[in-house]
């Protein structure tokens, strides 16, 4: 697809990172302000990894896939 600017390895890393951050925040492993930060910031890599589009990559005209 034309709007995908992430390679498969990049997407896998983002999904794993997002799930890890969400687990740390929502699972109660990390509490306090950092836990709240992990709860909300974990959605960003998860969603961008699932969709395959990173707005920051688009802004910087950067791609990790070879399309």
* 60 lies in some domain: no
Render pLDDT for 7-54 as a digit per residue (tens, 0 to 9): 999 999 999 999 999 999 999 999 999 999 999 999 999 999 999 999
Please state the domain count of the chain: 1
Confidence of residue 1 (pLDDT cuts 50, 70, 90): low
Instruction: Report CA Rg, the chain.
Output: 13
CA distances 64 to 34, 37, 54, Å, are 30, 27, 10
User: Considering the domain boundaries, does residue 2 fall inside one?
Assistant: no
- Residue 15 belongs to domain spanning: 8-54
Return the pLDDT at 26: 96
In a domain, 18, yes or no: yes
How confident is the model at residue 66, as a pLDDT? 84
Domain-located, residue 17: yes
């Amino acid at each position: 697809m034309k709007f995908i600017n992430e390679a498969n390895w990049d997407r896998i890393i983002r999904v794993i990172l997002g799930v890890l951050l969400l687990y740390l925040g929502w699972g109660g492993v990390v509490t306090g302000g950092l836990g709240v930060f992990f709860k909300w910031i974990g959605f960003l890599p998860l969603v961008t990894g699932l969709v395959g589009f990173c707005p920051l990559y688009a802004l910087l005209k950067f791609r990790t896939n070879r399309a």
